[in-house]
Each structure stands twice: as structure tokens, then as C-alpha cells.
């Protein structure tokens, strides 16, 4: 199976993005044969609202992955959050690396208002927990670069390509080795589960 895992580079307020470190560590794991049966490719994208949609579309066109697992950082998180929904909205609390700060703009003009992750999110959550890292489901990927990437990847993915997004906590909360192990577990869960597991994951409010 061809797998694409992406992370983000730095942006205002985050000089070292944990998602970049985790993705680099995952690539080293794959390169040393610790992810057998998988052809793993990784990419680190700049936090640039103008280029995110086009970049992920082009990377997917070149790699032709069957699974796309995107990652970013949530500095307030205490666990890895498995995102269920991306919305077609940019509303940036802080500027991107080019200084752009869009307000109430679409990620992809003319696209649907929202898209659901196509990975087995509950199976992924369980696999991450079993790997030793805390994990939760999330109903909002925010309105910054992470949500933009998730939405664009889902929008541009060819039929049959599974796409999901994981938010990784800060390095204060979770070390790179733990995050990389969790990513590997998430990938394996996507490979093993054609459909999601029957497990409660909703919220009351």
C-alpha cells in the first residue's frame, strides 16, 4: 500500500512544529524496514494558506497514495486528536508565514461546506491508545492551516483514497518518539480496518 503522511513547518508562535519532527521520525522508521508491506512517503508543507490546497493536490497526484494521513500541531491539546470533519473555511487567528490572515474565506471556492474524514477514525483512536499515547476524537479541525489541509486533501483525493488528519500535541506534552509510534499505529489501523469499529465516540454538546 502506498501511504502519504504529511506534517507542517513552523508558523508564528511555533518555531519547531512537532508534526514535522514526528513525520521525519516516521520516515526513518519506514526507511529502516519497520513498516513492512507499506510504501511510505512523507512531506512537510509550509503554513501558507495560498499554497496548501495546490501543494497537497500535486503531491497526491505524484505519489498516488491509497492512504493520506495529514498531521499538524495543536499546542493546547493534551492528547492526539483524530479529526472527523473539515470545513471549507479559513478564519486565521494568527497570520501564516507570508503574513496572510484571511477572515471567513473558503479553502476551495465552490467546494462543499464540509467533508468527513474517510479513515476509520475510531479504529485509529483505539490503535493510538494501544500504542501508549493518549488519543481523542475531535469534531473540529479549527479554521487555520490544519483544517485547510484536511479539507483540501479530502476534496482533491481520487475516489477510493482514504484521507484523515491527526493533531499532535506540543513537545511539552508528547515526545517525538511517542508521536511517531502513534502515527505508525494509526497507519496500521487504516490498513487493517476497511470499515470503522462499532464504538461510541459522540458528544452531548
Question: Which of 70, 155, 156, 167 does the annotation list as catalytic?
Answer: 167
Question: Which of 83, 155, 156, 190 does the annotation list as catalytic?
Answer: 83
Residue 194 annotated as catalytic? no
What confidence tens digit (pLDDT) does each residue in 144-199 have? 999 999 999 999 999 999 999 999 999 999 999 999 999 999 999 999 999 999 98
Residue 117 near residue 137 (C-beta atoms within 8 A): no
Residue 167 annotated as catalytic? yes
Other beta carbons within 10 Å of 88:
20
Question: Which of 20, 146, 155, 190 does the annotation list as catalytic?
Answer: 146
First and final CA of the chain: distance in angstroms? Answer: 38
Residue 20 annotated as catalytic? no
What confidence tens digit (pLDDT) does each residue in 98-147 have? 999 999 999 999 999 999 999 999 999 999 999 999 999 999 999 999 99
pTM: 0.96
Q: What is the CATH number of domain 2-192?
A: 3.40.630.20
Amino acid at each position: 500500500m502506498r501511504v502519504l503522511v504529511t506534517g507542517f513547518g513552523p508558523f508564528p508562535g511555533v518555531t519547531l512544529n512537532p508534526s514535522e519532527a514526528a513525520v521525519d521520525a516516521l520516515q526513518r522508521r519506514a526507511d529502516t524496514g519497520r513498516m513492512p508491506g507499506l510504501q511510505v512517503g512523507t512531506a512537510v508543507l509550509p503554513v501558507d494558506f495560498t499554497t496548501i490546497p495546490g501543494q497537497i493536490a500535486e503531491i497526491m497526484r505524484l505519489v498516488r497514495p491509497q492512504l493520506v494521513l495529514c498531521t499538524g500541531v495543536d499546542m493546547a491539546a493534551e492528547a492526539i486528536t483524530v479529526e472527523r470533519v473539515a470545513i471549507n473555511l479559513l478564519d486565521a487567528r494568527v497570520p501564516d508565514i507570508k503574513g496572510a490572515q484571511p477572515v471567513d474565506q473558503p479553502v476551495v471556492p465552490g467546494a462543499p461546506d464540509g467533508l468527513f474524514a474517510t479513515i476509520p477514525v475510531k479504529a485509529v483512536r483505539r490503535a493510538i491508545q494501544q500504542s501508549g499515547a493518549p488519543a481523542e476524537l475531535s469534531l473540529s479541525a479549527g479554521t487555520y492551516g490544519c483544517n485547510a489541509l484536511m479539507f483540501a486533501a479530502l476534496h482533491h483525493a481520487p475516489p477510493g483514497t482514504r484521507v484523515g488528519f491527526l493533531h499532535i500535541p506540543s513537545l511539552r506534552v508528547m515526545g517525538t518518539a511517542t508521536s511517531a509510534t502513534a502515527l505508525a499505529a494509526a497507519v496500521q489501523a487504516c490498513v487493517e480496518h476497511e470499515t470503522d469499529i462499532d464504538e461510541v465516540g459522540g458528544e452531548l454538546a
